Amino acid sequence: MKKSLKIIGGIVALIVLTVGIIYFFFPQKLVDFNNSQNASTANLKSKTIEVDGYQTHFYTNENSVAKDTLVLLHGLGDDKNSFVQSAKYLSDSYYLILPDLLASGENNKKENLDLSINGQVEFLHKFLNQIGVKTFNLAGNSMGGHVSAAYAIAYPKDVKSLILLNSPGLKLDNHVVYTGFGEVLKNEEDLNNVFSRVFYKVPEMPSPFKKMFITQINESRDYLNNTIIPQIKNGKYFDLKEQINQINSPTLILWGKHDKVVKFNVAERFKRDIPQSELEIIENASHSPQLEVPYEVAISIDEFIQKSKKK
């Protein structure tokens, strides 16, 4: 008995030691594990497919019996995990597709990619056609919303309903959303300043995770600032002001009330100029509500899609 207890005690100690090592030295492993667990809870599977020779990573629940398809697009500097927590409340009702956009997430940041909004639209169109999706509901946050609005303009017959979640895409009052990461982050205070622009309440996290995010942001800074953003600003569909009245899909403008990235007058202009649109404000959320209040976002998306079908 004592021998068995010693063995069990040794195993427990080893597990604690292993978790401690991962926690302090390999926090990305824990983030990846958490993402995979969230995806599993939402019945999402990780898939890859080649689009014009470009390996494309995405999540899908493969819900073949669902009557509606819902595509969820992440924002700039984010990836397909962005909507995973909302997805678990939608997975039973929809065929879900959550792709990594060009040069995002697990997708390669190779040379000669068209990273303009139009480039992302054409990439998404080829990707969806390749997996056999022709008509669908489309939702996107931040740059993903910008891409979604442009997609509804470029391919109006494909989009059954449109959800724009704190989306840029309109240049108003000389306010430019795509400003990049700014200076190199030097410490946790700098990181908190970045997070405070995205979250209503900056999430608390241990120091090893903060250091990990500082490193990741600094490593991606040059590519984002010097490659992606210039292409967006100089490319087709950067400013949609004169084209959003062409959107004929029922549209929900879903807005985190405390957004510091995209001004509220953008939401108001979307509401004014998109013919079949409505505006919904989310309290206690900022630029990425799906990360802060995933349940509320999921319910708003679902209720809007169901209501749109009855019109």
Q: What is the pLDDT of residue 206?
A: 82
What six digits make up the tokens of 221? 């800074």
Q: What is the pLDDT of residue 216?
A: 85
Flag whether 250 is in a domain: yes
Flag whether 24 is in a domain: no
Neighbouring C-beta atoms of residue 177, cutoff 10 Å: 22
Nearest Cα to Cα of residue 286 among 103, 88, 75? 75
What six digits make up the tokens of 48? 């890859």
User: 159 with 138: CB under 8 angstroms?
Assistant: yes
Pairing of strands 251-256, 277-282: parallel
pLDDT in tens, 233-248: 999 999 999 999 999 9
Q: What is the pLDDT of residue 294?
A: 96
Flag whether 172 is in a domain: yes
Give how many domains the chain has, as a whole number: 1
How far apart are the C-alpha atoms of 113 and 182, rounded to whole Å?
23
What CATH number corresponds to the domain at position 257? 3.40.50.1820
Flag whether 124 is in a domain: yes
164: which DSSP letter?
Answer: E
Order across the sheet with 54-60: list the strands: 45-51, 54-60, 94-99, 68-73, 136-141, 159-165, 251-256, 277-282
Domain that holds residue 97: 42-309
Q: What is the pLDDT of residue 310?
A: 74
Flag whether 27 is in a domain: no
Q: What is the pLDDT of residue 3?
A: 44
How far apart are the C-alpha atoms of 122 and 117, rounded to whole Å?
9
Mean pLDDT, 10 residues at a time, the chain of 311 residues:
43 34 46 83 96 96 92 95 96 97 94 95 98 97 98 98 97 85 84 86 84 86 91 96 97 96 96 97 95 96 92 65
Flag whether 76 is in a domain: yes
User: 211 with 300: CB under 8 angstroms?
Assistant: no
Flag whether 181 is in a domain: yes
- pTM > 0.85: yes
Flag whether 14 is in a domain: no
- HEC states along 37-88? HHHHHCCCEEEEEEECCEEEEEEECCCCCCCEEEEEECCCCCCHHHHHHHHC
